[in-house]
Amino acid sequence: MKLHELSPAEGSKKEVKRIGRGHGSGWGKTAGKGHKGQKARAGKGMRVGFEGGQMPLQRRIPKRGFNNIFAKKVVAINVGTLNKFEDGAVVDLAALTEKGIVKNSFDSVKILSNGTLTKKLTVKANAFSKGAVAKIEAAGGKTEVI
């Protein structure tokens, strides 16, 4: 294959639509803008969400609640899910993401006492519930607050 034999893929190149260049082009006279009206005028168009003076949808719908942008995202993990690890393993943030227990971005991890733990683990997390600490230590493991 030579350079002069190359051609673009079928349908990838289109002719530019030249509007407002006379009746013969099919896009003459009003140039696809219809007759008069706000959209036919030159200059700045309407802003996003403008409904012709009618109260826009984003202002008609009632607002509820409050979204605190400074809130910390805490991931809660039950003691029962820690059974996925091998006996004697060290469970920390890296290990939790590796096993797929923690997936999205977060600020801290808290271990809760739901479920039963059957393996001896060293668990490192930001926070523990009292019941979780009791269950981990009862199984022969250790807890460390990061």
Query: In which band, very low, low, confident or very high, does the pLDDT at 116 lie, cut at 50, 70 and 90?
Result: confident
Q: How far is CA 3 from the centre of its chain?
A: 44
Average pLDDT over residues 26-43: 90
Please provide the DSSP assignment of the chain as one string.
--GGG--PPTTS-------SS-GGGTS-TTTTS-SSSGGGSSS--PPTT--TTSPPHHHHSPP-S---TTPPPEEEEEGGGGGGSPTT-EE-HHHHHHHTS--S--SEEEEE--S---S--EEEESEE-HHHHHHHHHTT-EEEE-
Between 104 and 127, name the one with better pLDDT. 127
Q: What's the N-to-C CA distance of the chain in angstroms?
A: 63
Are 100 and 134 a contacting pair, CB within 8 Å?
Answer: no
Instruction: Read off the pLDDT of residues 70-115 as tens digits, 9 standing for 90 and up.
Output: 998 899 999 988 888 888 888 888 888 888 888 888 888 999 989 8
What's the confidence (pLDDT) of residue 23? 93
